[in-house]
Structure 1
Amino acid sequence: MYDDVVKAARGGMDKAIEALKKGFNKVRTGRASTTLMDEIRVDYYGTPTPLNQIGTMAVPEPRLITITPWEKQLITEIEKAILKSDLGLNPSSDGQLVRIAFPVLTEERRKEMVKGIKRMGEEAKVAIRNSRRDANEGLKKLEKEKEISEDEQKRGEKEIQDLTDKYVKKIDEVVAAKENEVMEI
């Protein structure tokens, strides 16, 4: 029982870290990355289809993404989908492939992005603290129902607090790495 509570807390904390990293993939840095395009859906014969399933994406230069669709008539649909996305990118095409140039980010824009990154980090910390609270409540319930002893409950709370501290530190490291990536010119 005790191990199940700790295991559930660890699982919740792992999910918080994964969600944070996935959220960071959508943050546009000064460098081109195909992961930015993961959420873009293109109208493919009436079906919203992920961009990476209708063409080949490449990063030939640090500030350029090229998309070569498997069907040339999709170029206009790809351009529309990119313009509709909230990434603020302007695609251009030559009839064969779509080019997306990434403009250099201004200092002000990079600082705004860092604020957003810190906010995302705080949200992940809140999720981790919620996992800690749920685990502690689970341990108290087990102790109240006499399924574990008071000593086991205290040991469990200490273990969960240590786990929380470890995951909060991991979030701080991930946030600092992303901040450095954004502030890099």
Structure 2
Amino acid sequence: MQTVLKDAEDRMKKALAALDKEFSRLRTGRATTSLLDGVRVDYYGTATQLDQLASVATPDSRTITIQPWDRKAFADIEKAILKSGLGLTPVNDGKIIRISIPPLTEDRRKDLVKVAKKYVEEAKVAMRNVRRDANELLKKKKNDKAISEDDQRKGQDDVQKLTDNYIVKTDEAFSKKEKEIMEI
């Protein structure tokens, strides 16, 4: 029974980690290097992550700088950022690429909160699926006479408590992200 709980907890931790990763990609009013994590540059015919072609930094809260190690990559990096759908416009001065993060409008902030809420719902669904799988496994063990009915009920209660705990954590993460997005 403990292995079922441990497995369920591990899977719920992964769902929470995936949510955090999705949140880090959401654009808030601040410049962060994680905004560009999903950007892939077509570099000599190979899709390459931006951080493998250049150093990415945030000198202030509204600017991201990209300094490519290969001068020939400037145009490819600019093109990849424009095509990424992030709504960012790179400015190339020949030595460095600068991206200014404009302040978000109220409508855009509300849209981002909706996107964040969607990510939270996906994480909750994943956690509920983990709960369902764990409960089915406990039921199967009971039917195979590996555990008693009392152990099954206790296990299901423990799985429910675990699920509730992780759902509270996702809600806390959402409220924190919502506050960050709505901050001017």
Q: TM-score range by the shorter chain?
A: over 0.9
Letter in structure 2 aligned against 1:166: N
Counterpart of 2:30 in 1: which secondary structure? coil
Corresponding residue number in structure 2 for 1:154: 153
State how 1:68-147 maps to structure 2 within 5 Å: 68-147=67-146
Instruction: Render the CA deviation track for 1:21-44: whole Å, top value 9, x for unaligned.
Output: 111111100100101111111122
Alpha-carbon distance in structure 1 between the residues aligned to 2:44 and 2:125: 42
Distance in 2, Cα, partners of 1:48 & 1:150: 54
TM-score with structure 1 setting the length:
0.97
Structure 1 position 5, deviation (Å): 1.2
1:5 is matched with which residue?
4
**Residues in 2 aligned to 1:106 and 1:43: alpha-carbon distance in whole angstroms:** 32
- Normalising by structure 2, what TM-score? 0.98
**CA deviation map 1:2-53 (0-9, x unaligned):** 1121112112111110111111111100100101111111122221111001
1:43 is paired with a residue of what secondary structure?
A: strand
**Corresponding position of 1:36:** 35
Supply the AA of the counterpart residue of 2:108: R
Distance in 2 between residues matched to 1:51 and 1:120, nearest whole Å: 24
Structure 1 residue 129 displacement after superposition: 0.7
Match of 1:15 in 2: 14
Q: Distance in 2 between matches of 1:28 and 1:18?
A: 18
Match in the other structure for 1:180: 179
State how far apart, in whole Å, the 1-side matches of 2:182 and 2:47 are: 34
Tell me which amino acid in the other structure corresponds to 1:42: V
* Runs (5+) with no aligned partner, structure 1: none
Secondary structure of 2:75's counterpart equals helix
Identity of aligned residues (%): 54
Q: Give SS of 1:105's match.
A: coil
* Cα separation, 2, equivalents of 1:165 and 1:43: 43
In 2: Cα distance, 1:111 partner to 1:42 partner: 30
| Structure 2: unaligned runs, 5 residues or longer | none
Q: Please give the alpha-carbon distance, in whole angstroms, between the structure 2 residues aligned to 1:133 and 1:74.
A: 48
CA RMSD of aligned residues (A): 0.8
The Cα shift of 1:152 comes to 0.6
Partner of 2:55: 56
Counting matched residue pairs gives 184
